[in-house]
Amino acid sequence: MNERILLIDDHTLFRAGLKDLLTRRGIKVLASVGNGEEGLKMANEFKAELDVVLLDMRMPKMDGIAVLRLLKKDHPDLPVAMLTTSSVEEDLIGALKNGAQGYLLKDMEPDELVVALKDIIEGKTVVAPDLAPVLAQAVQGKIKPKEEKINPFSSLTPREFEILTLLAEGQSNKVIARNLGISDGTVKLHVKAILRKLNISSRITAAVMAVEYGVKKTKFVYTAR
C-alpha cells in the first residue's frame, strides 16, 4: 500500500513541487496545506489514514515546533518529520525533544527523502546525514542549551508587580488606589518606581510589556532576589 502523508509548508511552489515529486514515487499526499492551523485540521480529518506528517520549521503565526507539539498531543503515535532549510542545532534538538521522528533538509536528494520517509513510517528516527555531527555533539553534551530569557520584572517588589498587573488591565491610579486600599499618591510613587526599574518612561509601555510577557495576576509567583 502506498505511504500516505500530510504536507504542511507555507511555500506554495515548494508544496506543489514536492507533492508532484512524491506522487511520482508512489507516495500519496492526502493533503497539502500552507499553515499550522490548517495542518492540524487535516491531521484530525485524516487521522485514520495518515502514515506520516511532513512539517516545515519556519512558518508565520504558528511555527513548526508549535504545530509539532499540538500534533503529538492530539496524535501521539503519528510520526512527524520536520522538512526544513534550517541546520541550526537548537531547531534540530528542539524538534527531537518535542517528538519529531525525523529532521530532514529540503536540499536532500528526492530518493533519499523517500527512503527517509519509509524508515520513519517503520518507526525509525531519521536525521539528515549532514546534521549527524550536530546530533552527536548534542548527545555528548557538547552543545550548551540556550540561556533562558531574563524576567524583566524580577526587580519589582510584590506590591509593584501587583500594581503592574492592574496597569495591564487599563486601570487608572484612582481605581488602583481604591482596589488596593491605598492613596493615589502611594500609587503614583509605585508607578514611578516601576518605570524606573523597567527603564521606560510611560505607564502605557509598562502595560504593553506586561501583556507581551503574559503577566497574569492569578498565576504569578514572586521570587525575591
pLDDT 10s digits, 170-215: 888 999 999 999 999 999 999 999 999 888 888 888 887 777 676 6
Does residue 218 form part of some domain? no
Does residue 201 form part of some domain? yes
Q: Which structural domain, as residue segments, surrounds residue 42?
A: 4-139
Q: Which residue has the higher pLDDT, 148 or 135?
A: 135
Are 56 and 128 within one domain? yes
pLDDT confidence of residue 165: 87
Are 124 and 33 within one domain? yes
CB 84 within 8 A of CB 56: yes
Domain end, chosen from 139, 171, 200, is at 139
Does residue 223 form part of some domain? no
pLDDT confidence of residue 177: 93
Are 74 and 116 within one domain? yes
CATH number at residue 192: 1.10.10.10
Q: What is the pTM of this model?
A: 0.61
Are 186 and 122 within one domain? no
Does residue 51 form part of some domain? yes
pLDDT 10s digits, 75-120: 999 999 999 988 888 888 889 889 999 999 998 888 999 999 999 9
Domains contained in the chain, number: 2
